[in-house]
Amino acid sequence: MGVSGRGRREGGSSLRRAADVHRGQSGRCSFRLRQPSLGRDSQGEEETQTLRAGRHRYPDALQGPRPFRPHPGLAQGNPGMNIFSFPVGPLETNLYLLVEEEQGEAVIVDPGEASEEVLSLLEREGWRVSLILNTHAHFDHIGGNAFFQEATGAPIALHPQDLPLYRRVVEQGEFFGVECLPQPEPNLMLWEGQRLALVGRQWEVWHTPGHSPGSVCLY
């Protein structure tokens, strides 16, 4: 790996300081489960609303982070590149980490929530994050943007047709009973046919609307 041990330690300290600053400013990293609102049914008994239903549907998602899952098969034919996934947030959306070992470059894909686990891995390995890529702007794919941008200084990339969704992340979360924080504006707009040099490879942006107006894939 092209990062010295000394560089790793210094880089890790910088990541940690930036994350601490972000937490100090916001009081929490990206989003948190809202307290259930209480109402009364016709018999006068208290009942919880949306959040309890969410707990019933996603019980495992509320029991804390799980170990990351490496995906060596996805990197076949691409020696030197590793792909890791981390289930994050109340919906356990996969945050992907693409890493080019030789130069120590990493790309974060769809950070749905702040993750100390991912930050610790970046810090430990001395990997430099060159981009935070959002494939679309649903809250469970962008909720950790602010945290990781504060920690790494990496730009955020998104297709412009998802900007309206992106800017309404707070309302998105409310619909699912999740309290979301506003996220910083994207720095890089993605377009059909755009070429990106990332983790030692050339990628082409494919605009694939459907799940959202600005959904994209990289090939």
pLDDT at 18 over 50: yes
Which pLDDT score, from 0 to 100, does residue 13 have? 55
Q: CA-CA distance, 219 to 202, in Å (whole number)?
A: 8
pLDDT at 1 over 80: no
Residues 134-189 have pLDDT tens digits of: 999 999 999 999 999 999 999 999 999 999 999 999 999 999 888 899 999 999 99
Q: What mean pLDDT value characterizes the chain? A: 76
Domains and CATH numbers, the chain: 5-218 (3.60.15.10)
Which pLDDT score, from 0 to 100, does residue 27 have? 29
Among 169, 209, 168, 164, residue whose Cα is nearest residue 191: 209
Which pLDDT score, from 0 to 100, does residue 172 have? 93
pLDDT at 46 over 50: no
Which pLDDT score, from 0 to 100, does residue 90 have? 86
pLDDT band at 78 (very low <50, low <70, confident <90, very high): low
- Residues 6+ away with beta carbon under 8 Å from 134: 109, 110, 141, 142, 145, 156, 157, 158, 162, 166, 186
Which pLDDT score, from 0 to 100, does residue 101 have? 86
